[in-house]
Amino acid sequence: MDLRTLCDLQGISGREEPVRRAVYAACVEKLGQERVYLDRMGNVIAEKDGQTPSAPHTMVCAHMDEVGLMVISATEDGLLRVRAIGSMDPRVLVSKRVRVGYEEKEKEKKALNGVIGALAIHQQSLQDRKTVLPIDQLYVDIGAKDKEEAVALAPAGTPVTFATSFAGFGEGLYLAKALDDRVGVYNLLRLLDAECRGRTSFVFTCQEEVGCRGAAGAAFRLQPDAGLVLEGTSANDRGDVPAAEQVCRVGEGVAISFIDNSSLAHPRMFAGMLSLAKEKGIAHQVKQSVSGGNEGGTLQRTGMGVKTCVLSVPCRYIHSPNAVCAAGDVEAQRELAKAFLEQGIDGIE
């Protein structure tokens, strides 16, 4: 399955069904149905035996969900009120096209076209123009003539995703919604072919953007010795941002994280990743800023503790309708994760 297909799929947190179906089918095709299962939370877990039965057990994960919106009500004139699912900057939302509801080809059901609207600038006061409208003052217009039609078409709980289609541009760059974390899902699927040193659980998690809920259940069930998280992370490498304040840089390789707002990488695992990247000639960088959070913190705190490290693809304009990453960084993430799984944590420490 290619990255374009994965990014164009719809799947906000808690409503990952289209992504889950595609991922489950891909895992079954690769490993066989007896090696793949769904847990209670909706994670897809694929198991693979290692070359060395006594080697440590590794859980490697990437999250299927994306940020988006959810319908909560409708106005009398047929506009949809929404709330955010995951963290988003309201400044990136106004006038963006969205899809309301999910495409279901087998049921011949199509998503509705919509646009995120706000009070027209001609009707805004001078003070209005100086402030950013919060999401509870925005709406989604689907062309409904009144509340009754809007509720019939998009009742409360209907998922809303950005309508951006995957595209390439510049020199080896990708533009798409949901690069966080379909880049990780894409690489995790490709890692199913890896010759793993120890038993490996490939976990495609749900609900990361609303608190890493899927990873918590999966890690508790699996109790791994080591955890590797494949993520997309904020780059913050454009504009007038001083170099020292940039998180990481698009096009300079996979970002190896030693600290973020939820986890600390295991020191020997972090050092081992750096050494492995240098040894294999894999483009890499160290994530410079203590920012964001991810499933690394969840894995680290599971059971008696898990040795954990996070490998991220730098993404500009993350959590927006139009994120940007470099093809080379996606490949670097896969190459380093593959090298780690082949050697195992006991092989790099």
Question: For residues 126 and 164, what is the distance between their CA atoms, to the nearest angstrom?
Answer: 32
DSSP 8-state assignment for residue 16: -
Q: How far is residue 259's CA from residue 266's CA, in Å, rounded to a whole number?
A: 10
If phi over 0 gives left and psi between -120 and 50 gives alpha, with beta otherwise, what is residue 109?
beta
> With left for phi above 0 and alpha for psi between -120 and 50, is residue 67 left, alpha or beta?
beta
What is the four-CA torsion angle of 66, 69, 72, 78, rounded to 10 degrees?
Answer: -140
Whole-angstrom Cα distance, residue 313 to residue 253? Answer: 8
Q: Is 208 among the residues known to form the active site?
A: yes
* Strand-by-strand arrangement of the 173-176 sheet: 167-169, 173-176, 323-326
φ, ψ of residue 303 to 5 degrees: the values are 55, -125
| Residue pair 184/62 in contact by the 8 Å Cβ criterion | yes
DSSP letters spanning 295-324: HHHHHHTSTT--EEEEEEEEEBTTTSSSEE
Render 200-262 in DSSP notation, one character per residue. EEEEEES-GGGTSHHHHHHHHHH--SEEEEEEEEE---STT--GGG----TTS-EEEESB-SS
Which residue, 241, 192, 260, 232, is CA-closest to 326?
232
Task: Estimate to the nearest angstrom the gap between the alpha carbon of 68 and the chain centroid.
Answer: 12
Query: Which residue in 16, 208, 331, 335 is the catalytic one?
Result: 208
| Residues with a known catalytic role | 208
